[in-house]
Structure 1
Amino acid sequence: MVGANILLVEDEEKLRKLVSTYLKREMVNVYEAADGEEALRLWNEKSINMVILDVMLPHYDGWAICKRIRETSNVPILMLTARGEESDKLFGFELGADDYMTKPFSVKELVARVKALLKRSQQQVSTEMVFIDDIKVDKKSHQAFLNNELLQLSPKEYDLLLYFIHNQNKALTRELLLDGVWGYDYYGDLRTVDTHVKRLRQKLKESGKRIVTVRGVGYRFEVKE
């Protein structure tokens, strides 16, 4: 949680300042907004790790802001509202909110929920990045890198690389690769696998030697444990 950037959107100044004070005690950076317009400006200008968002706001309400954020980001969103109707909560969750607190609430409980959401978010990010020495795969952006340089992979080359990484050091038959990457209902030739493996090896350069041909079986992606 230390060092996280939190966007706090609340038009009630006294409550906003109180929550901000408690959060700053946890060594986080807090960007405050009193209305929807200011919230969107800060969202676009700053690198935000989490949003605490009041529903009733001037200019744009919390629902609209939540929807806008979810168009481009999966950062945790905790909604605040003076209403506790189940329909409101369900609507917020449908828009992509991660948690919901009804006013009045305990600020200490809010801080505890913020910690839990940030921890969960950080764990999720770690699972979205895969590292194999000089190879890095970003599942979220669907991109792969070699020595921090973007690899120009086709969608199937990317899927094949990821499948190899998830099944590293295993001998994989061409049939298994075809099913795992192209799908069991794909009617293509097994030579499709060989063609894509050849191209992937070339693009991985020296690291392409990790993809070893297993005679009479298929291929193995070798990683030293």
Structure 2
Amino acid sequence: MCAYVLVAEDDPKQAELVRRYLCREEYTVRVVADGRSAIDEVRRERPDLLVLDVMMPGVDGLDVCRVLRREYDLPVLMVTARVSANDKLLGFDLGADDYLTKPYDPRELMARVRSLLRRARQPSAQQELRVGDLVLDAVRHEVRIGARQVPCTPAEFRILATMVAAPEQVFSRGQLVEQAYGLDGFITERTIDVHVANLRKKIEADPRDPAYLRTVYGVGYKVTNGRRHG
């Protein structure tokens, strides 16, 4: 079954270029030119992936990502002419799974689209992972703390699943990039810090004093059972 890719891009020439490359890969493609239309289309048709331009009229890409992340876990590839590190980190903080700056080679865009779709479809080796009250359900793509469901982006889910599958094992940022995204993920180690910070806000009773997602200074991160010692 062909994946359905929604492209939100207000530049007609850029939108047509992206559409042509996606169609060559035999994806089903629809293009919208503003953020409001992107939100409406996702709610109506639930695409497999959203290629989202940041700088659009009306509702911009950042607001689109903020709104949709409260409702869906579809992969989001954010595209923008903004090149600063802060802009990229803001995009990841709002829930983007990948971030590509303009101008870009369309072949790189296609590689990232394939990578995100492949990761989204990749089955987990275990249907359910559990550490203390923290539970990951791979079939439903759900995270729970006790009875409380925790909304997670696809990237956050993969990072958390990597660590929950090996409780108490310390993962470096580089290991989390590789295991959660693969070698073709185009993700920097700094991005892992942003994802972990977001996960702590969602999971921990006190994100400043985490019980589950612990930092091992100078090394990386690990997941524990949530119990305090000492």
- TM-score normalised by the chain length of structure 1: 0.57
Distance 1:38 1:74 in 2: 18
- The amino acid across from 1:111 in the alignment is M
Distance 2:54 2:226 in 1: 46
Q: Which has the higher helix share?
A: 1
Whether 2:93 is the aligned partner of 1:94: answer yes
Name the SS for the 2:74 alignment partner. Answer: coil
Distance 1:137 1:104 in 2: 36
Q: Which residue of 2 aligns with 1:140?
A: 141
Q: Which residue of 1 aligns with 2:83?
A: 84
- The amino acid across from 1:46 in the alignment is E
Distance 1:79 1:117 in 2: 12
Name the SS for the 2:103 alignment partner. Answer: coil
Name the SS for the 1:100 alignment partner. Answer: strand
- The amino acid across from 2:124 in the alignment is T
Contact 1:11–1:33 (Cα < 8 Å) also in 2: yes
Whether 2:27 is the aligned partner of 1:28: answer yes
Distance 1:121 1:15, change over 3 A: same
Name the SS for the 2:124 alignment partner. Answer: helix
Deviation for aligned residue 1:98: 1.1
Q: Which residue of 2 aligns with 1:196?
A: none
Deviation for aligned residue 1:34: 0.3
- The amino acid across from 2:141 in the alignment is K
Q: Which residue of 1 aligns with 2:107?
A: 108
Q: Which residue of 1 aligns with 2:121?
A: 122
- The amino acid across from 1:122 in the alignment is R
Structure showing greater Rg: 1
- TM-score normalised by the chain length of structure 2: 0.56
Distance 1:18 1:53 in 2: 14
Write the deviation string for residues 112-171 of structure 1: whole angstroms up to 9, x where unpaired.
Answer: 110011101111xx229849xxxx98443579xxxxxxxxxx95xxxxxxxxxx9xxxxx
Distance 1:138 1:84, change over 3 A: same
Q: Higher RCO, 1 or 2 (CA under 8 Å, sep at least 6)?
A: 2
Q: Which residue of 2 aligns with 1:37?
A: 36
Distance 1:45 1:139, change over 3 A: closer
Distance 1:116 1:130 in 2: 22
Distance 2:11 2:141 in 1: 36
Contact 2:124–2:138 (Cα < 8 Å) also in 1: no
Q: Say what the alpha-carbon RMSD is for the aligned residues.
A: 2.8
Distance 2:79 2:120 in 1: 19
Q: How much identity, in percent, do the aligned residues show?
A: 38
Contact 2:52–2:77 (Cα < 8 Å) also in 1: yes
